[in-house]
Amino acid sequence: MAPLEELAGAAGEVLKTLEDPVLTDSLLLFEEIYTHYQRMEYAQTVLLTMVLLERVAFDLAPEVPAPTAMRMVERSLALGDDMSRDFSILRRLRSQILHRGVLAVDRNEAESAVSLALHAMRMLGFPASMNAK
């Protein structure tokens, strides 16, 4: 059984999430991303990750005009070199999926998508335990 302090901390995070509609929606979207990844539905993982990244970026910088969305996503999420490269790959994959119907996404690409989605959730501050690891 978990110590009382851990349970209180977990309950506090749940309550915080329920009070914040952006965080709640983002958490539900992250759960969908991870579910598709576990089911080896990698194209869906990539598409939903891009939706989450755009949503978080717009939440972090709502004043940026929509035509510059992809550049804004990259800047708002403070992506490092490796994540920036992964983000570029995801952008290419999203384009292939949406505009050419190509659903060939491999496991490594899907893992990169999940890592970026996790980074986005950390940028929103959820959960606090993710930031410590």
Q: Which tokens sit at 23?
A: 């965080």
Residue 15 sits at the vertex; the CA angle it makes with 9 and 17, to the nearest 5 degrees, is 105
For the chain, the farthest-separated pair of C-alpha atoms sits apart, in whole angstroms, at 53
What does pLDDT average to over the chain? 76
> Measured between alpha carbons, how far apart are the two ends of the chain, in Å?
22
CATH of the domain at 122: 1.20.120
Q: Which residue has the higher pLDDT, 53 or 100?
A: 53
| pLDDT above 90: residue 37 | yes
pTM: 0.71
Q: Which tokens sit at 9?
A: 């901390």
Question: Are 32 and 126 a contacting pair, CB within 8 Å?
Answer: no
Q: How far apart are CA 32 and CA 96, in angstroms?
A: 21
What local confidence, expressed as pLDDT, does residue 22 receive? 77
Q: How confident is the model at residue 56 (pLDDT cuts 50, 70, 90)?
A: confident
Distances (CA, A) of 12 to 5, 21, 49, 86, 120: 10, 16, 26, 33, 21
Residue 20 included in any domain: no
Residue 34 included in any domain: yes
Burial of residue 83, with CB atoms counted within 10 A of its CB: 0-12 exposed, 13-18 middle, 19 or more buried: middle
Structural domain boundaries, residue 50: 25-126
Q: Which residue has the higher pLDDT, 26 or 58?
A: 26
Residue 19 included in any domain: no
What local confidence, expressed as pLDDT, does residue 16 receive? 64
What local confidence, expressed as pLDDT, does residue 128 receive? 53
